[in-house]
Structure 1
Amino acid sequence: MPRSLSQLIALRQELHRFPELSGEESATAQRISAFFAQMSYTKLIPKLGGTGLAFVWEGEKEGPTTLFRCELDGLPILEKGEVPYRSEMVGKSHVCGHDGHMAILSGLGLYLDQSPPMRGKVVLLFQPAEETGDGARAVLADPRFAEIRPDYAFALHNLPGFPLHQIVAKPGSFAASSVGMSIFLHGRNAHSAHPEAGNSPAQAMAEIIKMLEKLPKDFEDFTLVTVIHAELGQIAFGTTPGEAVVRATMRAFDNAVKARLVAVAEMKSSEIAGKYGLGIEFRYQEDFAASHNHPEGFEILRQVAEDLNLDLKEVAVPFRWSEDFGLFSDYAKSMLFGLGSGLEQPQLHEPNFDFPDQLIPTGISIFFKIIQKLNH
């Protein structure tokens, strides 16, 4: 490697100390830019989709554009691990491993600096706001994305619960589509001594929660509804509540199935609100498309695993979590895969999760071997 692994580990641990939330990753982007400052890439597209960065290497011959993506953002979770480089940003942490993913792509940049592509383009994309589902959409909507529109797009995510260095993949649907749904109920306040004078949404709220939790039984395809928050009125013992909200995450392995799930939830919630004479409105956030892997991308990854003598586990069922990389499948032959981060590793988003630095050279080797197959 042209620069020692210790320097990539130092970068990863520095990123770990200073996490930033989705859409706020300016300092993180600056740290990445500083690391790439001495590299001889062809082009840099800054502030892509907000705080994103795209480093481009161009070959001398015609060929495909191959994009590799990692994530810039951390999470609003207080870190409870005891590592010496624990987060210095109170209430923020890299307990999903995006710091490690950035280190892998930074190491890939070092490889490209020594062995640039002969054909086409290679793009290293540091994407903002993956955790909220907004980042990929913002990058794709940026007019400058046309300059790097890829033929192939690859991304990895470390996966606790799988053996260290094991590749976890499947063609077709790989990670679920999901969306956060908020259901607002509008009634009428009254004095709690005279509740009959108002119109409390309490009963409707309870019925909607029960309905949502049972809703997946109406679908043959996989769906999941998780009620994550509910609030009724205010803490005011002299007042009958007039407002309520129920929030739930809706999931499916297929975008169309998720759309039907949401439509049915809206219809049944509206029926319940109508029964009680309540107003109702719906709001949505953190909307993720399903991640769908192209068969050619999967075959390339299979060959790479064989070349590098890495174990590839082809899973039969998609993962229930979501990743906004799924949007890239509308533009390119995309491939999202997992890289095992250890059987005893805390799960993603747990407050004591820490990315294992042993994965950095493995991730770099996988990505660089893909470049050798497509752009050399």
Structure 2
Amino acid sequence: MEIEDFYQIREDFHRHPELSGKEKETARRVADLLKGMQPTHLYTGIGGHGVIAEYVFAEEGETLLFRADMDAVAIEEHGGTGHDSLNPGAAHKCGHDGHTTILLAFADLLHRYPLAKGKILLLFQPAEETGEGAMKMLEDPFFNGRHIDHVFALHNLPGYPTAAVVCRPGSFTCSVVSCSIEITGKTSHAAEPEKALSPVPLLLQLLRTAESWDCNTPGKETYFRSTLIELHIGEEAYGVAAGQGVIRFTFRAATEKNLQTRIREMEEMVAAIPKTNPEYNVRLQWLEPFQANENTMKEAGWIKQAAQAQGLPYIEAEVPFAWGEDFGAFTQRYPGALFGLGAGTKTPPLHSPKYDFPNELIEKGAHIFYEIAKIALESRGKQE
């Protein structure tokens, strides 16, 4: 296939975005395209709508996994791309249409230029935006007893020079989780608020505690940020003293360990409320977890080496990115690394209504994946 064919494929994905967990047609299209690239094995329905293409070049050599995400963002597109979304309320504003196409172009390279040894798994993942897709795929029986030596993924990065490779060993993205705490007491007439059981003091206590945890010094392992998402108490009923409220946060930390420490502390605080105030009902929910992408030194080094071999600028990130990316579920289980691919300094930011994945990154992304695969497989041979 010519590179222009992949431009058209990407733009077709862009016209037909599907939200997290609903990527049925995207997955079908991916599988149909992969058949023409003749993988050794093709697996569908992995962890939901996940697709995996396996290329076996020889039993000798390691197994590498490369991942792309397929889901869209719940946002309206404002038009002007020339290939606008045809699905109201969904648009590819994080570039997953581009990531998917990069992995397809990589499959085409593997088909046309087979490697000398090893196995390559190309994993097309649903539901990255909700933080659920990676774990659902890893929990699929496909991974039971399957040995994987190294894992890799990329994410496009607006604000960086086009095709610049951005990476760092250690934490590349933060661990992130969202939390919702509902507290129900008792309402009363607004003229007699003393007869109500107000959630306000407890909600404010939770807010003060979360804010006290903040350590907003980028680059430190102790980095932690709590963001208040919603604080809602009562209803617009002026004759009623509020008896119910909810507070919602996102928590993000430089390491998975630090995030888990704060999660335990919040759980202990919430569990203590009904023990000391048995008249209150409390409900705590943890939502949309993203584990930290903790890049291992060797794999991050291969990415730098691949960038240099391809003549691409290499930028070592000074601090972890504060956003979450659920590829962290893979890097927590296997040695590997996530890296960024610059999308241009003038490209609108991710999740912006005006964002559109730059087609020129498709060829660059596919070739750097191919280069990483060659370096990783040759590295094992040199060690032996």
Residue 71 of structure 1: aligned partner = 69
Task: Give me the whole-angstrom Cα distance separating, in 2, the residues matched to 1:175 and 1:163.
Answer: 19
Q: Deviations over 1:268-311 (max 9, x none)?
A: 55667857963323110111111011111112112111111111
Residue 221 of structure 1: aligned partner = 222
CA contact (8 A) 1:151 1:331 kept: no
One of 149, 152, 165 as aligned partner of 2:150:
152
Superposition deviation, residue 24 in structure 1 = 0.9
Task: Give me the whole-angstrom Cα distance separating, in 2, the residues matched to 1:238 and 1:85.
Answer: 52
Aligned length: 374
SS of 2:304's equivalent?
helix
Superposition deviation, residue 206 in structure 1 = 3.5
Distance 1:217 1:311, change over 3 A: closer
Task: Give me the whole-angstrom Cα distance separating, in 2, the residues matched to 1:136 and 1:323.
Answer: 10
Q: Which amino acid aligns with 1:53?
A: V
Task: Give me the whole-angstrom Cα distance separating, in 2, the residues matched to 1:147 and 1:103.
Answer: 29
CA contact (8 A) 1:62 1:119 kept: yes
Q: Which amino acid aligns with 1:67?
A: L
Task: Give me the whole-angstrom Cα distance separating, in 2, the residues matched to 1:172 and 1:298.
Answer: 9
Q: Does 1:193 align with 2:194?
A: no
Task: Give me the whole-angstrom Cα distance separating, in 2, the residues matched to 1:276 and 1:140.
Answer: 40
Superposition deviation, residue 162 in structure 1 = 0.7
One of 79, 82, 85 as aligned partner of 2:83:
85
Q: Percent identity?
A: 36
Superposition deviation, residue 267 in structure 1 = 4.2
The 10-residue stretch of structure 1 (316-325 or 232-241) with the greater mean CA deviation from structure 2: 232-241
Q: Deviations over 1:222-247 (max 9, x none)?
A: 00000112222233333222211101
One of 366, 373, 376 as aligned partner of 1:374:
376
CA contact (8 A) 1:192 1:239 kept: yes
Superposition deviation, residue 327 in structure 1 = 1.4
Residue 382 of structure 2: aligned partner = none
One of 318, 321, 332 as aligned partner of 2:320:
318
The 10-residue stretch of structure 1 (113-122 or 352-361) with the greater mean CA deviation from structure 2: 113-122
Residue 241 of structure 1: aligned partner = 242
Q: Does 1:16 align with 2:17?
A: no
SS of 1:352's equivalent?
coil
Residue 27 of structure 1: aligned partner = 25
TM-score relative to the length of structure 2: 0.92
Residue 339 of structure 2: aligned partner = 337
Q: Which amino acid aligns with 1:170?
A: R
CA contact (8 A) 2:39 2:55 kept: yes
5+ residue gaps, structure 1: none
CA contact (8 A) 1:57 1:117 kept: no
Superposition deviation, residue 81 in structure 1 = 4.2
5+ residue gaps, structure 2: 379-384
The 10-residue stretch of structure 1 (251-260 or 268-277) with the greater mean CA deviation from structure 2: 268-277
RMSD of equivalent CA atoms: 2.1
Task: Give me the whole-angstrom Cα distance separating, in 1, the residues matched to 2:59 and 2:24.
Answer: 35
SS of 2:327's equivalent?
helix
One of 125, 131, 134 as aligned partner of 1:133:
131
Task: Give me the whole-angstrom Cα distance separating, in 2, the residues matched to 1:214 and 1:15.
Answer: 44
Q: Which amino acid aligns with 2:230?
A: H
Task: Give me the whole-angstrom Cα distance separating, in 2, the residues matched to 1:147 and 1:210.
Answer: 46
Distance 1:167 1:95, change over 3 A: same
Residue 174 of structure 2: aligned partner = 176
Residue 355 of structure 2: aligned partner = 353
CA contact (8 A) 1:67 1:125 kept: yes
TM-score relative to the length of structure 1: 0.94
